[in-house]
């Protein structure tokens, strides 16, 4: 069976990372969570005071810091899924906080941040056999990917999923704040000048608002089997 590149794009909190991780584990592919990469840059910026009081980014300070920001993924033996590391520190939980969620979209619009992340992502996937999810994988990072998926769900469903995820981890969560964040991120992601979120012309669309995880995984596996058989 030939190895292919799988690009999974979509809105925030639509479950694309869960789908991508499960598929990668089942078929033995490398999984790369590009959203976690931008969240890691955001966490670094928050920790190092690279936001002004009005929420704007200290761009030149961030540009100077980019060579010091090293992001990697290591397999978690307990979960069987990769965890995100920032400069050698496991930050898988910290990058999912609402504070990071509220700041990540502006970071992701910065041209030199995106250039750095895209270069890393393309390097990770140069040998194929990779599942990558994000906002611009099928349109910018891997426009020639053999299988492109665009995942969406209603804002209310996505906010509830993020709320449940945070509560399960014992982290503070307010549904109204999360819904507001989801709607704002949708707008910013879709309207930014650099690599806006959009469905690639040859991508298959999946609205998983009313699907179980098992149903999503079964659908994705069918698309994978079809793509690798061609």
Average pLDDT on 64-89 reads: 90
Buried b (16+ CB within 10 A) or exposed e, 121-153: beebbeeeebbbbbbbbbbbbbeebbbbbbbbb
Write out pLDDT tens, residues 107-152: 988 999 999 999 989 988 888 999 999 888 999 999 999 999 999 9
- Per-residue pLDDT at 1 exceeds 80: no
Write out pLDDT tens, residues 183-197: 998 898 888 887 788
d(CA 9, CA 142): 11
**Does residue 188 or residue 95 have the better pLDDT?**
95
Q: Where are the alpha helices (DSSP H) in the chain?
A: 16-27, 34-47, 59-65, 98-108, 111-124, 155-168, 175-191, 213-229
Average pLDDT on 57-69 reads: 96
pTM > 0.75: yes or no: yes
| Widest pairwise Cα distance in the chain | 53
Mean pLDDT of the chain: 92
Specify burial of residue 96 (Cβ count, 10 A radius: 0-12, 13-18, 19+): middle
The dihedral of CA 107, 110, 116, 121: what is its sign? positive
Task: Give the three-class secondary structure for 216.
Answer: helix
């Amino acid at each position: 069976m030939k190895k292919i590149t799988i690009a999974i794009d979509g809105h925030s909190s639509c479950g694309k990372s869960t789908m991508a991780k499960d598929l990668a584990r089942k078929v033995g592919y490398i999984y790369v969570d590009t959203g976690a990469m931008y969240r890691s840059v955001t966490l670094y910026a928050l920790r190092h005071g690279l936001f002004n009081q009005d929420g704007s980014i200290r761009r030149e300070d961030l540009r100077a810091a980019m060579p010091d920001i090293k992001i990697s993924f290591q397999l978690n033996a307990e979960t069987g899924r990769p965890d995100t590391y920032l400069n050698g520190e496991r930050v898988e939980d910290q990058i999912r906080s609402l504070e990071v969620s509220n700041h990540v979209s502006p970071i992701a619009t910065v041209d030199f941040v995106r250039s750095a992340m895209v270069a890393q992502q393309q390097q990770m996937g140069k040998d194929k056999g990779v599942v990558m999810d994000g906002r611009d994988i099928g349109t910018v990072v891997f426009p020639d990917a053999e299988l492109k998926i665009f995942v969406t769900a209603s804002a209310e469903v996505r906010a509830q999923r993020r709320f449940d995820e945070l509560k399960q981890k014992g982290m503070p969560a307010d549904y109204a704040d999360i819904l507001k964040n989801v709607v704002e991120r949708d707008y910013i992601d879709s309207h930014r000048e650099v690599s806006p979120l959009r469905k690639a012309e040859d991508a298959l669309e999946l609205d998983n608002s009313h699907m179980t995880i098992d149903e999503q995984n079964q659908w994705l596996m069918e698309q994978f089997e079809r793509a690798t058989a061609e």
